[in-house]
Amino acid sequence: MIRKATSKHVAERAGVSRAAVSLVLNGRGDGNIAPAKQEAIRLAARELAYVPNSAARSLRLQRSCTIGVVTDAIATSAFGGGQLGGAIEVAREAGYLLLVLDTHCVDQRADAAFNMLQARQVDGLMFAAQCMRSFHAPASMRELPSVLTNSFEPDNAVTGVCADEVAGGRAAAQVLLDRGHRDIAIISGTSDRVAAHLRVQGYREAIAAAGLVPATPVPGGWTIHDGYQVGRQVLAGPDRPTGVICPNDRAAAGVLLAARDLGIDVPGDVSVVGYDDDEHVAGVMIPALTTVAIPQVAMGMEGMRRLLAQINGGPTAPEQVLVPCPLIERESVAAPRR
């Protein structure tokens, strides 16, 4: 008979005490356990498929060991689900179960969803957004340990964990600057998206730091069709830029199609940078897209760790946390020919 792993087994494999295992898997490792030891504990728990006895913990702690999660769309759509994946992994290691409701982007449903979860006596609440946005936390989130991911509370009443979009915009520009590009256009996306403004800010910072004058952002949408239309506009003239930064990977795919129809080689004549690292687009394009990844999984993991820390008596003062956006280099960027 296969024995179920216990916290003692995790402690032995990680070379730590059972108290250390409890602290880390309950979200209280920061400030108490060295980062390397925390990672060793999480790795040991995953390798042993360790699952805490939630029934016993619930009785001992007088908690439900459940967390309520409301999303605007990521639970029922193809983009952003990594946040849930990251949150589930951290919660599982701590012996917590997630109850997830999706509003299908109807904000009026959020309050009812949170009230329903609160009535289920969840120990904490999370809101996860598909695209970076502001979110007015309802009363239930102010009464329980709560966290937002890929979103922020305008009144700073709830901790928000977001991608560092300004740094992402800088990285998108910097990869072109480092290859020698000096004429770099940016397609900004639509003005209703918070992230679009932040990415343009990062682009401007990188261009200015290189001693150059930033180009005026070209408005454009987020679809392949939008990218194709604005791509033809940006690339049609004889004074076309040597590098183009796109608002997302789908728009970048449209720009690649526009370049093909105009007889422009990518990356020989023009380099193209996407954004998102969309698994269905970026890596399968020809050429494969250099892009800036949105750290979906990392946001979900960090948000859940901070929520568990609150549940277990850690810091409750709201804060804004930024998670780095990694640059993923592929074949769509090269040194300019001219």
| DSSP notation for 269-298 | T-EEEEEE--TTTTTTSSSPPEEEE--HHH
9: tokens are 């087994």
- Cβ neighbors of 139 (< 8 A, separation 6 or more) are none
- Same fold across 1-50 and 54-163+296-323: no
pLDDT of residue 59: 44
214: tokens are 């930033």
The rounded distance, in Å, linking the Cα atoms of 40 and 126 is 27
- Cβ neighbors of 291 (< 8 A, separation 6 or more) are 249, 252, 273, 274, 275, 276, 277, 278, 282, 327, 328, 330
CATH of 54-163+296-323, picked from 3.40.50.2300, 3.40.630.30, 3.40.50.300, 3.30.110.40, is 3.40.50.2300
Hey, which residues does 275 pair with through a beta bridge? Answer: 292
For 110, the 3-state DSSP assignment is helix
pLDDT of residue 135: 94
- Going by the DSSP 8-state scheme, the letter that residue 183 receives in this structure is -
CATH class of the 1-50 domain in this structure: mainly alpha
- Cβ neighbors of 178 (< 8 A, separation 6 or more) are none
43: tokens are 């790795």
Instruction: Compute the residue count for the chain.
Output: 338
The rounded distance, in Å, linking the Cα atoms of 272 and 291 is 9
Closest to 140 measured CA to CA, from 110, 162, 105, 160: 110
Can you say whether residue 105 is alpha, beta or left, with left for phi > 0 and alpha for psi between -120 and 50 degrees?
left
Hey, which residues does 91 pair with through a beta bridge? Answer: none
CATH class of the 165-294 domain in this structure: alpha beta
Neighbour-count burial for 217-246, b at 16+ CB within 10 Å, e otherwise? bbebbbebebbbbbbbebbeeeebbbbbbb
pLDDT of residue 76: 78
The rounded distance, in Å, linking the Cα atoms of 95 and 65 is 7
pLDDT (tens, 9 = 90+) of the chain, 338 residues, equals: 346 778 888 888 889 888 888 788 877 787 788 888 888 988 888 888 787 765 455 545 556 789 999 999 888 777 778 999 999 999 998 889 999 999 988 888 999 999 999 999 999 999 999 999 999 999 999 989 999 999 999 999 999 999 999 999 999 999 999 999 999 999 999 999 999 999 999 999 999 999 999 999 999 999 999 999 999 999 998 889 999 999 999 999 999 999 999 999 999 999 999 999 998 999 999 999 999 999 999 999 999 999 999 998 877 789 999 999 999 999 999 999 86
125: tokens are 């609440």
Q: Where do the domains of the chain lie?
A: 1-50, 54-163+296-323, 165-294
Sheet holding 243-245, edge to edge: 218-219, 184-189, 243-245, 271-276, 290-293, 327-328
Hey, which residues does 293 pair with through a beta bridge? Answer: 276
pLDDT of residue 1: 37
